[in-house]
Amino acid sequence: MSSLAKAKALAINRLRARKPLDESMIDRFLERHEVPIVEGVKCTFLFRGDADEVWVRHRIVGQPQQVPMRRVSGTSLWFVVIELPAGSRVEYQLELRRGEHYEQGNDPLNPHVANSPVGSSSVCQATGYVVPDWITPEEDVRPGEIIDLAVASAALRRETTCRVYLPARFRTTHSYPLLIVHDGDDYLNYAAMKTVLDNLIHRMDMAETVVAFINPGDRNREYANSVQHARFVKAELLPRLESELPLIAKPSGRALMGASFGGVAALSTAYRHPDVFGSLILQSGSFVFTDIGNDHGGGEVFDPVVRFMNRYRAEPRRVADQLFISCGIYEPLIVPNRSMIPVFEGTGMRVQYVEARDGHSWEDWRDRLRDALSWVFPGPQKYYYE
């Protein structure tokens, strides 16, 4: 291999070109490189160990989601090169076959892991992806406070616990906008949302805001276009919050937020009470619909969602003043979300739509929080003259 060819070759190919190749050379190779190895748009995934077959498993829609690895001849090292456009963030796992035994898990060579309520996955941060600097605690930022608020719900027939975020320097003589967040504990635990609020308010990117983090009981029932859930939010939770906290008690000061099924919950609640909430933040909403027939492919849990979305698409109407909508390009919900943008805009609502090279994940939704929160409730840093 010429010097120029060596310079252009991927690291894995430079390693494979070395003869003879032994395990000590692979030791040194792995010490020098982070895994996956990112070289431009090409990402080299590696596995080292005994196996009969190894695959990279990801969930990029439209791409083969089980990608076989190749063994570097005569060694314990496996590899595959996958092209990922700049800015991509992809969650994945490795699947191994040993004889008749299959196992799947995170990449042992990669320290980057994303967590969610259903487990964890390894993360490939492609070229150009940058972890936002506003998701980690900063020394000079005065933190807000979270207090628990129990709300007995006749609509839901259960006791609910709401976690209420009060910004630093909270004072009863001031009036605050209110944001109600579905899947609240998940936003706190997997999207670092308290830290994000602290940092964005400190930087004056968003207004000082009171945030109510609510959680479902039976999520599939309460968040799938539920009359009872909408009644709880509008007739039980909201009056309780506005009676106990100094809030801007008008639509322009109220927002609903949710991701996935939580996005459906936010939209369907506002649909039933269109004059209550001025803003919605909808992240990767499960806006599944059919143009003909009832075969939507999502299983019976999606039946009430599809009925709601089909009804909404047949007779769209204004449910708030403005919507912030985001979705990952690599998730199956990208087509339904894109399809809903002109429908929403056609009702006269102001719509801000953002896509990212990411999937259906809490870190994707975390990375969009600054754009969403500063757009819905902008701080002094975001003010500008028109």
CATH of the domain at 211: 3.40.50.1820
Calpha distance 133→34 (Å, rounded): 21
- DSSP category for residue 167: -
Contact 126, 135 (CB under 8 A): no
Regarding whether 70 and 140 lie in a shared domain, the answer is: no
Regarding whether 151 and 73 lie in a shared domain, the answer is: no
Q: What is the CA radius of gyration of the chain?
A: 24
Asked if the bond preceding 274 is cis, omega within 30° of 0, the reply is no
pLDDT at residue 3 in the model:
56
Regarding whether 284 and 166 lie in a shared domain, the answer is: yes
**Residue 359 in domain:** yes
The CATH number assigned to the domain holding 120 equals 2.60.40.10
Regarding whether 321 and 195 lie in a shared domain, the answer is: yes
**Residue 69 in domain:** yes
Cβ atoms within 10 Å of 274's Cβ, excluding its own? 13
Regarding whether 109 and 196 lie in a shared domain, the answer is: no
Find where tokens 């083969």 sit: 64
pLDDT at residue 293 in the model:
79
Regarding whether 147 and 72 lie in a shared domain, the answer is: no
Write out the H or E segment, with its range, that includes residue 312: helix 303-314
Write out the H or E segment, with its range, that includes residue 104: strand 101-105
Per the structure, the count of domains in the chain is: 2
Which residue, among 279, 238, 272, has the nearest Cα to 257 in the 3D structure? 279
**Residue 169 in domain:** yes
Domain-terminating residue out of 81, 107, 125: 125
* Sign of the dihedral through C-alpha 200, 201, 204, 209: positive
Q: What is the pTM assigned to this prediction? A: 0.94
Regarding whether 72 and 219 lie in a shared domain, the answer is: no
Contact 68, 78 (CB under 8 A): no
pLDDT at residue 294 in the model:
78
Regarding whether 212 and 114 lie in a shared domain, the answer is: no
Strand spans (E) along 231-297: 254-259, 279-283
Domain-terminating residue out of 97, 125, 153: 125
Regarding whether 112 and 214 lie in a shared domain, the answer is: no
pLDDT at residue 295 in the model:
81
Write out the H or E segment, with its range, that includes residue 152: strand 145-153
* Sign of the dihedral through C-alpha 138, 143, 144, 150: positive
pLDDT at residue 4 in the model:
52
DSSP 182-216: TTHHHHHHHS-HHHHHHHHHHTTSB---EEEE---
Regarding whether 211 and 108 lie in a shared domain, the answer is: no
Domain-terminating residue out of 72, 102, 125: 125
Regarding whether 228 and 365 lie in a shared domain, the answer is: yes
pLDDT at residue 5 in the model:
60
**Residue 14 in domain:** no
**Residue 15 in domain:** no
Calpha distance 46→86 (Å, rounded): 20
Calpha distance 41→176 (Å, rounded): 45
What residue numbers bound the domain in which 304 lies? 133-383
**Residue 16 in domain:** no
pLDDT at residue 2 in the model:
60
State the Cα torsion 111-117-118-119 to the nearest 10°. Answer: 20
**Residue 146 in domain:** yes
pLDDT at residue 299 in the model:
83
Calpha distance 180→94 (Å, rounded): 37
Calpha distance 19→293 (Å, rounded): 61
Which residue, among 117, 28, 123, 148, has the nearest Cα to 77 in the 3D structure? 28
State the Cα torsion 117-219-259-250 to the nearest 10°. Answer: -130
Calpha distance 234→277 (Å, rounded): 9
pLDDT in tens, the chain (386 residues): 565 565 579 999 999 999 899 999 999 999 999 999 999 999 999 999 999 999 999 999 999 999 999 999 999 999 999 999 999 999 999 999 999 999 999 999 999 999 999 999 999 999 999 999 999 999 999 999 999 999 999 999 999 999 999 999 999 999 999 999 999 999 999 999 999 999 999 999 999 999 999 999 999 999 999 999 999 999 999 999 999 999 999 999 999 999 999 999 999 999 999 999 999 999 999 999 998 877 887 788 999 999 999 999 999 999 999 999 999 999 999 999 999 999 999 999 999 999 999 999 999 999 999 999 999 999 987 665 54
pLDDT at residue 34 in the model:
97
Cβ atoms within 10 Å of 136's Cβ, excluding its own? 11
Regarding whether 152 and 297 lie in a shared domain, the answer is: yes
**Residue 110 in domain:** yes
